[in-house]
């Protein structure tokens, strides 16, 4: 981005018409906060009539898909948004993490086999499936090595996932009325790990600032009792991944960063139309069915996500003190109504999709205590 171009107007953009209130309001809150930090005017939520012809800097809630959509929003490159752009919808989903069962398996338009070749060594064992006919052979292939996890490619925050331990259990899924639609839209089948820690690794490019970070995320229960995203704890530096790796970090964290770098570079190589100014990767580390330690990138987020508020808090800290080397920031999402902790920054408080209440906030701590 170049918010150094003082004519730009920072605008929130909730891409999905059916987006829940908490997503829309979080989007607005972060756009307003970012505009304040970089010294630009906040223009509210995107309105095609109101903002027609204006030089915008967008904070979209989803990765932009397709040249027509980007062109309509005035987005020409990563300097025009905090998020990402892809030519085809599947590229911004977890589908690209794995290859297909074989060369006869169905693939969406624009599929690049090169990507799965490049990332094979930094992801878990798995396959992507885009048709009901390919589903059972793919599951049978993977179940030889233990339980697998079924993940619809458009689901987020861990929703809609199921662990399958046998082919009979998978056949029961195939017998469901919605099975054909589910697999046609895209499903990832991936080895299931035990005792999992999920690392977050990523970068944000905002103005003349490059932020690189690592950390972990955790789950919480939503109002319906489902395990969903609950927050992230990040260690953020000013600079590139080399600056992050220059810190004293545990070996498992170093491995996660290195795997994210491979995944990130593969996206640039295999999908040359892709660009992003926010690049976030989830890396799972845990035990496979034989008790062996495994580590692999699960998916990417080239859009606003749960950790975005923490990234903006880090940016605020670095702008306030340019000499600061690193900062620890945390984003928290809780479905329990409670007072805001001392020194926390509230991002959203109100109803949520499927729950009566959701609180989102950020905390900031010094790197060295």
The pLDDT tens digits of the residues spanning 290-318 come to: 999 999 999 999 999 999 999 999 999 99
pLDDT, residue 98, reads 97
Nearest to 197 by CA among 141, 278, 125, 256: 256
| 256/253 Cα distance (integer angstroms) | 5
94 contacts: CB under 8 Å, gap ≥ 6: 151, 153, 188, 298, 299, 300
pLDDT at 121 > cutoff 60: yes
φ and ψ at residue 165, rounded to 5 degrees: -110, -10
The pair of structure tokens assigned to 140 is: 């049978």
pLDDT, residue 76, reads 95
pTM comes to 0.93
Provide the pairing of β-strand 326-334 with 227-238.
Answer: antiparallel
Q: Residues 168-190: what's their mean pLDDT?
A: 96
Q: Which range is least confidently modeled, 5-14, 111-120, 189-198, 199-208?
A: 5-14
- Judge contact between 127 and 189, C-beta under 8 A: yes
The pLDDT tens digits of the residues spanning 206-265 come to: 989 999 999 998 889 888 888 888 999 999 999 999 999 999 999 999 999 999 999 999
Q: What does the longest C-alpha to C-alpha distance in the chain come to?
A: 61
| 59/53 Cα distance (integer angstroms) | 17
For 96-135, give the DSSP string. GGS--SSTTS---TT--HHHHHHHGGGS-SEEEE-SHHHH
For 140-164, give the DSSP string. HHHHTTS-EEEEETT--TTTT-EEE
| 52/46 Cα distance (integer angstroms) | 10
| 227/159 Cα distance (integer angstroms) | 8
Q: How confident is the model at residue 2 (pLDDT cuts 50, 70, 90)?
A: very low
Q: In what order do the strands lie in the sheet with 275-276?
A: 64-65, 84-86, 275-276
- Judge contact between 239 and 210, C-beta under 8 A: yes
Q: Which helix (H) or strand (E) holds 89?
A: none
φ and ψ at residue 48, rounded to 5 degrees: -60, -30
The pLDDT tens digits of the residues spanning 17-49 come to: 888 899 999 999 999 999 999 999 999 999 999
């Amino acid at each position: 981005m170049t918010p150094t171009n003082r004519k730009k107007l920072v605008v929130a953009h909730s891409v999905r018409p059916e987006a829940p209130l908490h997503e829309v309001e979080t989007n607005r809150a972060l756009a307003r906060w970012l505009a304040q930090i970089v010294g630009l005017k906040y223009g509210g939520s995107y309105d095609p009539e109101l903002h027609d012809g204006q030089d915008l800097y967008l904070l979209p809630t989803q990765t932009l898909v397709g040249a027509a959509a980007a062109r309509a929003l005035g987005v020409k490159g990563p300097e025009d948004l905090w998020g990402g752009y892809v030519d085809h919808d599947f590229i911004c989903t977890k589908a690209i993490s794995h290859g297909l069962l074989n060369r006869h398996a169905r693939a969406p338009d624009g599929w690049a086999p090169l990507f799965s070749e490049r990332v094979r060594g930094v992801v878990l064992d798995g396959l992507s499936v885009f048709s009901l006919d390919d589903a059972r052979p793919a599951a049978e292939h993977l179940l030889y090595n233990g339980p697998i996890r079924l993940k619809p490619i458009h689901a987020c925050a861990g929703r809609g996932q199921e662990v399958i331990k046998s082919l009979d259990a998978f056949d029961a899924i195939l017998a469901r009325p919605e099975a054909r639609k589910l697999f046609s839209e895209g499903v990832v089948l991936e080895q299931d790990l035990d005792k999992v820690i999920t690392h977050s690794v990523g970068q944000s490019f905002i103005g003349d600032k490059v932020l690189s970070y690592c950390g972990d995320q955790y789950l919480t229960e939503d109002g319906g009792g489902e395990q969903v995203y609950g927050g992230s704890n990040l260690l953020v530096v000013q600079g590139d991944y080399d600056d992050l790796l220059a810190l004293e970090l545990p070996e498992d964290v170093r491995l996660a960063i290195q795997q994210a770098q491979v995944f990130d570079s593969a996206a640039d190589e295999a999908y040359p139309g892709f660009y992003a100014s926010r690049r976030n990767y989830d890396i799972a580390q845990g035990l496979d069915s034989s008790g062996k330690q495994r580590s692999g990138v699960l998916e990417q987020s080239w859009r606003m996500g749960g950790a975005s508020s923490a990234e903006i808090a880090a940016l605020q800290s670095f702008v306030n003190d340019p000499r600061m080397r690193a900062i620890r920031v945390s984003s928290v999402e809780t479905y329990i109504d409670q007072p805001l902790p001392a020194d926390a920054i509230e991002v959203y408080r109100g109803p949520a999709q499927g729950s009566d209440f959701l609180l989102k906030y950020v905390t900031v701590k010094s790197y060295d205590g």
